[in-house]
Chain A
Amino acid sequence: MRSEEEARRAIEQYSDLVRRLCMIHLKNHSDTEDIFQTVFLKYVLSSASFESPEHEKAWFIRVTINACKDLLKSFFRKHTVSLDEVLDQPAPLEDRHREVLEAVLSLPPTYKDVVYLHYYEGYTAPEIGHILGKNVNTIYTLLNRARHMLKETLGGDTGE
């Protein structure tokens, strides 16, 4: 089992990452809280040793996405919620940010992870394919389609 210090460091380092993935997948704050507890407890109990910070980060991405998917399959979860609640933040979002995030959230579920990992985390298609366990060509296709959809919604240049 990992120490309290390791847990604090991981929370400081990866909580924003986990929070953004939760925003992409989940519908309300209590589900986000569940995912935080699940992911970080799994980390504390995990005996896995990470070769590098990148390896550790990829582990958090994979575990968070899987935990979100498991929760979405759960019968007891809350099914519907407004976008305002999804994008609920201590500091209100500016309209332009809200518009962009709403466009991303309106994408089909398979596209959202890819968009986030590519556009925010800066991963390449092969890296995303490795993290998500998907074929690289599939990632290219998803990125391409997502780009077109975002362009239609938001307008403007959505190039690489």
Chain B
Amino acid sequence: MNDTLKEAFGQIRAEQALKETTLSYLQQKTQGYRHAPAASYYRPLLSLAACLILVVCLCLWRAWFTLVSVISIAINPSLELDLNRFDRVISVEGYNEDGQALANSLSIQYLNYQDALEAILNSETVADCLARQELLSIAVVDDDAQRQQALLAGVQSCAAGHGQSHCYAADTTALEDAHHAGLSYGKYQAYLELLALDPDITPQQVQTMTIREIRQLIDDLTDSNPNPQEESSGTSGQGVGPSGQENGQGEGHHYGQEGGHHYGRS
């Protein structure tokens, strides 16, 4: 068997054409045996470039999917748009059933926030609410004051001509509190005002109410409340929530046609 195997393997030989092809290849690759193939020099550079491209892609990916700002919209559908640093919507979250239904019905992911906002305001659900004179509350949350003001200006320009709207800047801590209570930021601010007047009110009760209904309840309780000091002093003129963030930012609040709330068409 040893001889058989040896004899059989011995039949396999390199073809002359294969040897000649290999010699030609070596001649060409080494430019007549003078230079090593160029590929051996730039291959490490190519690898480095590939690594750099990968790192850049990872950074871009991270930047694209990092939440930077939030636009919180409350009318009756309550929903929030999470924005990246490129002002694109990276996720939409509904904070009540109507909000979830609206979020599911719209294709606004990765749109610019203004386009997304237009789509929401022009949606049948929101348009119906606005037609019923419901109050639209839009809060802009961003840790960077400059970005926040720019976003607020953009939001205000979108909201203009869409009924009674209230656009204002808010802070991250208050937003977290709102999420903890299961409410959008706008509704949470209204809830806090209501809570000051009616300590028995719960976030669950507020969740299904429209902003106008909450406001109406606040007005009713304010009218029947003999001690006006209990009302948050910040709501007067500024319509501010307990965080106090909005004071002094000068963005203005359009709530209230009477008393301390300046609701009105913006």
CB distance from B2 to the nearest CB of A (A): 6
Q: Which residues of chain A have C-beta atoms less than 8 A from B13's C-beta?
A: 16, 19, 89
What distance in Å separates the Cβ of B38 from its nearest Cβ neighbour in chain A? 12
A101 within 8 A of B: yes
How far is B37's CA from A45's CA once the two chains are assembled, in angstroms?
9
Q: Among the listed B2, B15, B26, B34, which residue makes an inter-chain contact with A40, where contact means beta carbons less than 8 Å apart?
A: B26
Q: Tell me the B residues contacting A by CB distance below 8 Å.
A: 1-2, 4-15, 18-19, 21-23, 25-27, 29-30, 32-34, 36-37, 40
A154 touches B1 (CB 8 A): yes
Known: A1-B33, A36-B21. 4 other contacts (CB 8 A): A1-B34, A3-B33, A44-B30, A104-B5
Most-contacted residue by chain A among B4, B18, B22, B34 (CB, 10 A): B22
Measured between beta carbons, the chain B residues less than 8 angstroms from A18 are 14
* A37 & B25 in contact (Cβ 8 Å cutoff): yes
Q: How many of chain A's residues have a CB under 8 angstroms from any CB in B? A: 46
Interface presence of A8 (CB below 8 A)? yes
User: What is the CA–CA distance of A21 and B36 in the complex, to the nearest angstrom?
Assistant: 26
Q: Which residues of A contact B8 (CB under 8 A)?
A: 96-98, 100-101, 104
B residues in contact with A36, CB < 8 Å = 14, 18, 21-22
Give the secondary structure class of B's interface. Answer: helix
Q: Which 4 A-B pairs have the closest CB atoms?
A: A15-B14, A100-B8, A19-B14, A120-B9
Is A83 at the interface (CB under 8 A from chain B)? no
* Partner of B6 from A23, A119, A157 at Cβ < 8 Å: A119
* A115 interfacial contact with B, CB 8 Å: yes
13 A/B residue pairs, CB under 8 Å, sorted by A: A1-B30, A1-B36, A7-B26, A15-B14, A36-B18, A41-B30, A44-B26, A45-B30, A89-B15, A119-B6, A150-B1, A154-B4, A158-B1
Taking CB atoms and an 8 Å cut-off, the chain A residues in 1-56 that contact chain B are 1-4, 7-8, 11-12, 15-16, 18-20, 23, 32-33, 36-37, 40-41, 44-45
Q: Indicate which residue in A2, A7, A89, A115 contacts B11 across the interface (CB closer than 8 Å).
A: A89
Contact A7 B23 (CB under 8 A): yes
Contact in complex: A15, B25 (CB < 8 Å): no
- CB pair A16–B1 under 8 Å, yes or no, is no
- Complex Cα gap A2–B29 (Å): 13
A92 shortest CB reach to chain B, Å: 10
Chain A: minimal CB distance from B242 (Å): 61
* Residues of chain A lying within 8 A (CB to CB) of residue B14: 15-16, 18-19, 36
Whether B1 contacts A116 by the Cβ 8 Å rule is no
Residues of chain A within 8 A of B4, CB atoms compared: 96, 100, 154
| Given A36-B18, A119-B2, A157-B1; A4-B33 close (CB under 8 Å) | yes
Docked pose: A23 CA to B18 CA in angstroms: 14
Q: Tell me whether A108 is interfacial, beta carbon within 8 Å.
A: no
